[in-house]
Amino acid sequence: MATVRIPSPLRKYTGGQAKITVPGATVGEVVQNLVQTYPGMQSRLQDDAGEIKRFINIFVNENEIRSLQGADSPVAETDEISIVPAMAGGK
């Protein structure tokens, strides 16, 4: 199972856990399994069609999935997946 790094703003949905092991052969499967286990994360990560929201950046190791195969990017058991929500603000 891949290790998923959970950013601070989303940890309230995972019981405070910063890292979680999640099964899946692709990023899409990992995200789907993550939101099934932690339902509060679904509205934060997926749109109404079940796609990863455009302002959510997901990295497999150090590669952003949009530069790979998107949600179809393969995931190995030793991979680390990082979820990075876009931040807004400022003047």
pLDDT string in tens for the chain (91-residue length): 999 999 999 999 999 999 999 999 999 999 999 999 999 999 999 999 999 999 999 999 999 999 999 999 999 999 999 999 887 655 6
Token readout for 3 is 């290790």
pTM, full prediction: 0.90
Domain ranges in the chain are 2-85
What distance in Å separates the CA atoms of residue 26 and residue 19, rounded to the nearest whole number? 18
Bridge partners of 20, per DSSP, are 4
CATH number for the domain whose boundaries are 2-85: 3.10.20.30
